[in-house]
Amino acid sequence: MESISSQNTPLSQSTAATTPTSAMASTPAETAEIILVKSKQLQPDKVEISTEAKNISAEERDTEDKKSIDASSLSGIMSLEEAAAAEKANESDLDKRIRELSMEILEISVKIQLLQDKEDKESVKERQKLEVDLAMKKGELEATMDRKLQEAAL
């Protein structure tokens, strides 16, 4: 895009040659000539702006088309509930057991954490019992995960 100073130079040269030096034209013919000269000078800028606007508009339409989804395209897609049900149906018994064991381990860990601050005899015994349970659950989880990996390898 040209700088403003370079745009003013051709305008001043062309108007100086064809129009009087006063800003106001005295006759309608001179006024029409001034308008014609100025409009010729401005047309390339208008075209350039128009081209830029068209490009931007086309880009916006493209992104909008990509984002918009009509109802007919959704007819074959499952709802969230259906997708969750299908995923659970495909999930194996080992996956379910792994999830259950992980939740149990988390619960036991939280209970142990809560009992660590207490120093009375009953809390210490309960915490030790939970630590044994935690170790057993971790071992069971490891064994279940190993079985799942062996099944996947086959």
pLDDT tens-digit profile of 18-67? 444 445 667 888 888 888 777 666 555 555 556 777 788 788 887 776 66
Q: What angle do CA 80, 81, 87 make, to 5 degrees?
A: 90
Residues 6+ away with beta carbon under 8 Å from 148: 92, 94, 95, 98
Question: Which pTM does this prediction carry?
Answer: 0.41
Distance between CA atoms of residues 92 and 53, nearest Å: 56
Distance between CA atoms of residues 116 and 20, nearest Å: 98
Q: What angle do CA 26, 30, 32 make, to 5 degrees?
A: 125
Mean residue pLDDT across the chain:
75
Residues in the chain, how many? 154
C-alpha pair distances (Å), 55 with each of 58, 60, 62, 65, 108? 5, 9, 11, 15, 61
Angle between helices 28-67 and 4-18 (to 10 degrees): 150
- pLDDT tens digit string along 98-115? 999 999 999 999 999 988
Tell which phi-psi region holds residue 27, choosing left (phi > 0), alpha (psi between -120 and 50) or beta. Answer: beta
